[in-house]
Structure 1
Amino acid sequence: MIPSTLQAPDFPANVRELDDEALLDIVQRQTARYFWEGAHPVSGLARDRQKTTGAPANDLAAIGGSGFGIMAIIVAVERGWIDRTAALCRLQRMLDFLESSPRYHGVFPHFINGRTGATIPFRRKDDGADLVETTFLFQGLICAREYFAGMATEEARLRHSVNALLSQAEWNWFTRGARQLMWHWSPNHGWAMDSPIRGWNECMLTFVLAAGSTRHPIDPGIYHEGFAGGSDFRNGRDHYGIVLPLGMDFGGPLFFSQYSFCGLDPRGLSDRYADYWQQNLRHTQINYRHCVRNPHNHLGYGPDCWGLTASHGPRGFIASAPDRDFGVITPSAALSSFPYAPGEAMRALRGFLTKPRNRIWGRFGFVDAFCEPRNWYSRTYLAINQGPIIAMIENHRTGLLWRLFMGAPEVRRGLARLGFTSQHLDTSTSAQGPRAAAGMAPLGCT
């Protein structure tokens, strides 16, 4: 039985009784339950989605979502919510399961069966390797390897398992012999998805890890000619009084500035194309200003209710953005923006808590999305939205995950090879694992 050690106290009726730090504690801790007690009971991987009430048997495990879940577990250990030994047991169980699961040139699919490890097709022809979802899994695994840096046998074994998975990813094979990286490959349909990874989007981290690989690196020119070489990569236009350096008009959904940057520290990170702190800051502010100005007059929008990204909606899954605004607010969009807009994000957090409490908040934190014009509140949580809430709030509070990830040798090597500058490249020392949570009785393997 998985112990529910992460359960946080519910919010008081008058949320103003809590100071900001106490409020963030509750949000992070409750949301982390998604990845601890809500994990698949066999593999320990993150289920792709869960219901707000008790869910039936659900074997759909998300590879990228599991990477964000690993980061959530690290935060929970660091904050003393989970025993370090219990976390090591859980993570090793996940690693053992992943090692025995099908991969395609060392790359995982989007979904796998959390009970058997079998590939579950995302779409008809998307039944093999997904390079981007694997990137997000590796982001979490690298953080775990850097955090559990002790001499104990269990920590050494975890590091060995992580390194084995990383070394087997054939990044250069996914160039298809050209100056690009392909997102998908199928053992049944080959390259039929025909999806070269071009920016600006959530995929920059894929190129960093591919360039930094020890055994199967890509040529740096593939980043410049492939990801950054498209006609839609640069922007430079004014949106709500803000000039956006890169990407589509109005910036696109906010996960562009969040998924890769749960680990990549954008502070002082730049290359020949952009300062990525400014890119993400401006992207966030455009999204915020759109919701405040509310040109479509959607009910509920304002400075205490904003955030457009990919989520569930009244009519299915949607990718919301200022130029594709369906009236659906996703709490993760604002809450994962704490590093970029702390005041605006805190106001949104408190604003969300003025909504009907039993419809917006539950066993795993805030629901995935809501649409007040339709009086609709999601009855589900989504792994790839819940995970960044924990990671990005922690980066805002302590910089923990940024410090771990940016200290990893393959990350530093990839950034250097691609021509990035960063404060993390100024020293040859690697990040060491922070303190272990102290004073807790062991919970045993879970």
Structure 2
Amino acid sequence: MNRTLNLWIFGIEVLLLISSCNNNPEPSKRIIVKGYDRHVELQWEPVEGAKSYAVFVKKEDNSYTERANVKDTIYMDFVNDLGTELELSYKVEAQLNEGTESLGEVTVATRSMTDEELLDMVQFYTFRYFWEGAEPNSGMARERVHMDGNYPQNDQNVVTTGGTGFGIFGLLAGIERNWVSKEEGIVRFERIVDFLEKADRFHGVWPHWIHGESGKVKPFGNDDDGGDLVESAFLMQGLLAVREYYKNGTEREKQLAQKIDELWNSMEWNWYTQGGQDILYWHWSPNFGWQKNFGIKGYDECMITYVLAASSPTFSVPVSVYHKGWARDGGIVNDTSAYGHDLPLKHNGSPEFGGPLFWSHYSYLGLNPKGLKDQYANYWEHNRNHTLINRQWCVNNEQGFKGYGEDLWGLTASYTVTGYAAHKPGNDLGVISPTAALSSIPYTPEESMAVIKNLYYNYGEKVFGRYGFYDALSPEKDWYPQRYLAIDQGPIVAMIENYRTGLGWQLFMAAPEIQAGLEKLGFTISEE
């Protein structure tokens, strides 16, 4: 049986072994079915030669009506049209060149779910992006998954370093929540780490994109075919959490932790100062050198890059790089507020309302903002206020976009109607990105849950698929693309877990180098 089917063992799952069928008496086929609040999910093993599969549901008169005809071996049936608190019977038939083959019949119930069950469901579905949806050779996260199969430049096997780092926190959560076994978990991490050891690196730093089959760099742009320091920082943030998770375990687990340690120690952070300047640079290429010349200056999503660079036990950068480069020699300080919320850090290009919400997510999947302070900001207050400002912009909705309100808010970088955009106040295109509110759940738990409920109960199959909520939606444009991006799915599952248990924060912050690096940079940590 497909390993992905094992993931169904949690919650209110119903698993029925079909022992006899009208057209197929042999008990050789299995259908797995699970009922949630407003949808039912069915999975089955593929049938050789099947062109498609027809899914039927039994009506009150005991006859069957077809619900869908799909080519996949999974079907999510949103049953709002049938009612709530249902008892349903389904059957599945494989459509062959000559006739059909029955896979049997299953029964299932739907029922009302608590907020905790709903959150568990959303987290689990999003986790599947990084478990089921991973590129098979590397085990890493694909940059994107388009459910229609239409990929730009046939890049369905291109993996992302940053998105994998985000997803790693989700994989750790999956192990802790028994969505996968501990054995399956370490096998996956070994695959990822072994791949990263052999993949292209540039002074110890990985590129933004990598071909999953070969480990060779996939250029992110015409002159961006080398090391990407920021994406590699996102990756290492996750890997250090894995190291902490396994370092005191079995010999096998200690070996995995040691391999991660070697990758961490080989990252030449000081190289990316262009020979000792007081700033980190985002890119270096063996073909184009420092041609991009992109200095990393705050405030945006890159804070974790400076924390790791200062924390490195082998290629550390001096304190001046943080204060003069990232903090702009004090110029990072802001003195404005919006909607009654102070924004103590000056966001690049968005000093009044703040930048896209991923700026309060990417660096804080492992780096715990609770009680984290330096001379520039209290990072919990900053991130919460950033979120509340972004939300209030959508609630006020001065542009009058359809759907916006207290239960549909959140502007960040995502797909947009015409491509990709960094949505934010002042650059609001009428597109809501679910990751914005969902990944903010530690900062705004009630406000984020309102968005989850609205999306699931009122938008349903338009916005929710096999890997959780799709990347973006625009009720204004009646636009609901069935697409996913790793960099948007990863923060959802990671931040939900941080909200529920603090797992990612606890692991990353336990790394002794991180504690030393934060102290070096002048950070203090207090209980909040």
**TM over 0.5, yes or no?**
yes
Aligned-pair distance for 1:346?
0.5
Higher relative contact order (CA 8 A, sep 6+): 1
Equivalent AA in structure 2 for residue 118 of structure 1: K
Q: 1:221 aligns with which of 298, 320, 337?
A: 320
Q: Secondary structure at the match of 2:524?
A: coil
2:298 aligns with 199
Query: Quick one: structure 1 residues 250 and 6, their matched pair in 2 at CA, closer, same or farther if it must change by over 3 Å?
Result: farther
Which deviations, in whole Å up to 9, do the C-alpha atoms of 1:134-184 show, x marking residues without a partner? 001001101111112343122011101100100100001111121100001
Q: 1:251 aligns with which of 328, 343, 354?
A: 354
- What does 1:111-122 correspond to in 2, within 5 Å? 111-122=209-220
Aligned-pair distance for 1:54?
5.7
1:173 aligns with 271
Q: Secondary structure at the match of 1:311?
A: strand
Q: Secondary structure at the match of 1:354?
A: helix
Aligned partners of 1:40 and 1:46 also within 8 Å: yes
Query: Quick one: structure 1 residues 10 and 215, their matched pair in 2 at CA, closer, same or farther if it must change by over 3 Å?
Result: farther
**Could you tell which deviates more after superposition, 45-54 or 313-322?**
45-54
Equivalent AA in structure 1 for residue 291 of structure 2: A
Aligned partners of 2:323 and 2:329 also within 8 Å: no
2:127 aligns with 32
Which deviations, in whole Å up to 9, do the C-alpha atoms of 1:9-45 show, x marking residues without a partner? 4642259921111011101111000000100011101
Aligned-pair distance for 1:69?
1.5
Aligned partners of 1:299 and 1:372 also within 8 Å: yes
Aligned pair 1:379/2:482, yes or no? yes
Q: Using the alignment, how far apart are the partners of 1:16 and 1:334 within structure 2?
A: 26
TM-score, with normalisation over the residues of structure 1?
A: 0.92
Which deviations, in whole Å up to 9, do the C-alpha atoms of 1:241-268 show, x marking residues without a partner? 2221112321110001111111111111
Q: Using the alignment, how far apart are the partners of 2:340 and 2:512 within structure 1?
A: 39
**Could you tell which deviates more after superposition, 10-19 or 181-190?**
10-19
Aligned partners of 2:332 and 2:376 also within 8 Å: no
Q: 2:245 aligns with which of 120, 144, 147?
A: 147
Aligned partners of 1:270 and 1:422 also within 8 Å: yes
Q: Secondary structure at the match of 2:207?
A: coil
Q: Secondary structure at the match of 1:278?
A: helix
Q: Using the alignment, how far apart are the partners of 1:403 and 1:5 within structure 2?
A: 28
2:190 aligns with 92
Q: Using the alignment, how far apart are the partners of 1:408 and 1:421 within structure 2?
A: 16
Q: 1:17 aligns with which of 105, 112, 134?
A: 112
RMSD over aligned Cα atoms: 1.7
- What does 1:29-428 correspond to in 2, within 5 Å? 29-53=124-148, 58-176=156-274, 177-229=276-328, 233-246=332-345, 247=347, 248-423=351-526
**Could you tell which deviates more after superposition, 322-331 or 5-14?**
5-14
Q: Secondary structure at the match of 1:61?
A: strand
- What does 1:425-436 correspond to in 2, within 5 Å? none
Equivalent AA in structure 2 for residue 418 of structure 1: L
Q: Secondary structure at the match of 2:440?
A: coil
Q: Using the alignment, how far apart are the partners of 1:356 and 1:418 within structure 2?
A: 46
Query: Quick one: structure 1 residues 65 and 175, their matched pair in 2 at CA, closer, same or farther if it must change by over 3 Å?
Result: same
Q: Using the alignment, how far apart are the partners of 2:442 and 2:459 within structure 1?
A: 27
Aligned partners of 1:250 and 1:283 also within 8 Å: yes
Counting matched residue pairs gives 424
Q: Using the alignment, how far apart are the partners of 1:151 and 1:131 within structure 2?
A: 30
Aligned-pair distance for 1:219?
0.2
Which deviations, in whole Å up to 9, do the C-alpha atoms of 1:303-352 show, x marking residues without a partner? 00011000001100100001110000000100001110001000111011
Q: Secondary structure at the match of 2:334?
A: strand
Q: Secondary structure at the match of 2:343?
A: strand
Q: Using the alignment, how far apart are the partners of 1:134 and 1:366 within structure 2?
A: 26
Equivalent AA in structure 2 for residue 83 of structure 1: S
Aligned-pair distance for 1:355?
3.8
Q: Secondary structure at the match of 1:47?
A: coil
Aligned-residue sequence identity (percent) comes to 46
Aligned partners of 1:6 and 1:32 also within 8 Å: no
Equivalent AA in structure 2 for residue 168 of structure 1: S
**Could you tell which deviates more after superposition, 355-364 or 295-304?**
355-364
Q: Using the alignment, how far apart are the partners of 1:19 and 1:232 within structure 2?
A: 46
Equivalent AA in structure 1 for residue 179 of structure 2: W
Q: Secondary structure at the match of 1:107?
A: coil
Aligned partners of 1:52 and 1:364 also within 8 Å: no
Equivalent AA in structure 2 for residue 327 of structure 1: G
Runs (5+) with no aligned partner, structure 2: 11-33, 39-83, 85-109
Aligned partners of 1:327 and 1:373 also within 8 Å: yes
Aligned partners of 2:356 and 2:424 also within 8 Å: yes
Aligned-pair distance for 1:2?
4.3
Q: Secondary structure at the match of 2:335?
A: strand
Q: Using the alignment, how far apart are the partners of 1:92 and 1:359 within structure 2?
A: 36
Equivalent AA in structure 2 for residue 165 of structure 1: L
Aligned partners of 1:179 and 1:222 also within 8 Å: yes
Equivalent AA in structure 1 for residue 261 of structure 2: N
Aligned-pair distance for 1:52?
2.7
Q: Using the alignment, how far apart are the partners of 2:329 and 2:393 within structure 1?
A: 27
**Could you tell which deviates more after superposition, 153-162 or 164-173?**
153-162
TM-score, with normalisation over the residues of structure 2?
A: 0.78
Aligned partners of 1:198 and 1:230 also within 8 Å: no
Equivalent AA in structure 1 for residue 37 of structure 2: P
Give the structure with the higher percent helix: 1
Aligned partners of 1:112 and 1:120 also within 8 Å: yes
Q: Using the alignment, how far apart are the partners of 1:244 and 1:116 within structure 2?
A: 44
Equivalent AA in structure 2 for residue 46 of structure 1: A
Q: Using the alignment, how far apart are the partners of 2:507 and 2:303 within structure 1?
A: 18
Q: Secondary structure at the match of 1:22?
A: helix
Aligned-pair distance for 1:233?
2.0
Q: Secondary structure at the match of 1:356?
A: helix
Q: Secondary structure at the match of 2:159?
A: strand
